[in-house]
Amino acid sequence: MDKYPNYITQEQQEEYERVLLDQMDSKEKAEFNSKLYGDPELRKQYEEFKELFYAIEEEGLRNSMETFHNSLKEDSSRTAGTKNKFYWYRIAASIAILISSVIWFFNKQSPNEKLFQSYYSVDPGLPTVMGTNDNYDFYEAMVDYKQRNYDVAINKWERLLLTNQDSDTLNYFLGSAYLAKGNTNKAIDFFKNTLNSEVSVFSKEAHYYLALVHLKNNNTVEAVKHLKMAADEKSGELLKKIQE
């Protein structure tokens, strides 16, 4: 096992995001603050996550504003009368097309595919605090992964894997990146490699994603097997849905 100490589970990241987005009630917030006060390591992890969260949020806002300003420039080249006449028609037509596409997409899906879409989300990855560890190349690829540059991240991680084939961390995130790209066959291979480690910190996550991949491929028997091995709340919920 090559445990990366900065790993934050998806549940923890969701909890941190709820705090930062002010989505907790007063009781939950008090309980969270109490946990932070009593656990210096948790407090450090939260602070690192908060720093990364705000950095990503700032970058996202900057990109959104740039897109918004470009759209204003484009509209300014038209006359005010034409803009007022057609602007809302364009928006209404776009919304109608989007709604129709969503309805068509979900109607054509099998029950297993619908469950996959409902329960799948890309693993959020590890905090990318670089410069203070010996894994700079790994975390550099993690930045690409978080920015959805999956091909770039895969290329970098596969090079690292050449000299560290037993790494459960590399295998797990290669599986995650391939699944995010829609390559289920490659994802299955790497998630299975993750589970080859006798003690992997990613075993529950690997079982969960393997279950989702098999569900997407309509292999319900394998999906159920891996959900039972994941044995967490979310897996149990999905298992009930499959067996209904």
* Segment 160-196, tens digit of pLDDT: 999 999 999 999 999 999 999 999 999 999 999 999 9
Give the lowest-confidence range in 142-146, 155-159, 190-194: 142-146
Residues 89 and 180 occupy one common structural domain: no
Number of structural domains (the chain) is 3
Residues 239 and 135 occupy one common structural domain: yes
Residues 95 and 24 occupy one common structural domain: no
Residues 97 and 121 occupy one common structural domain: no
Residues 102 and 17 occupy one common structural domain: no
Give the lowest-confidence range in 37-46, 79-88, 144-153: 79-88
Residues 39 and 85 occupy one common structural domain: no
Question: What domain range includes position 85?
Answer: 79-108
Residues 125 and 238 occupy one common structural domain: yes
Residues 84 and 123 occupy one common structural domain: no
Residues 155 and 84 occupy one common structural domain: no
CA dihedral (117, 234, 122, 160) positive or negative: negative
Q: How confident is the model at residue 146 (pLDDT cuts 50, 70, 90)?
A: very high
Give the lowest-confidence range in 62-66, 120-124, 226-230, 231-235: 62-66
Asked if residue 124 is part of any domain, the answer here is yes
Residues 104 and 125 occupy one common structural domain: no
- The pLDDT value recorded for residue 176 is 97
Residues 220 and 156 occupy one common structural domain: yes
Residues 33 and 52 occupy one common structural domain: yes
- Any idea what DSSP says for residue 5? T
Residue with tokens 């409902």: 118
Q: Which amino acid is at 13?
A: Q
Residues in the chain: 244
pTM surpassing 0.85?
no
Q: Which amino acid is at 98?
A: L
Asked if residue 212 is part of any domain, the answer here is yes
- Any idea what DSSP says for residue 133? S
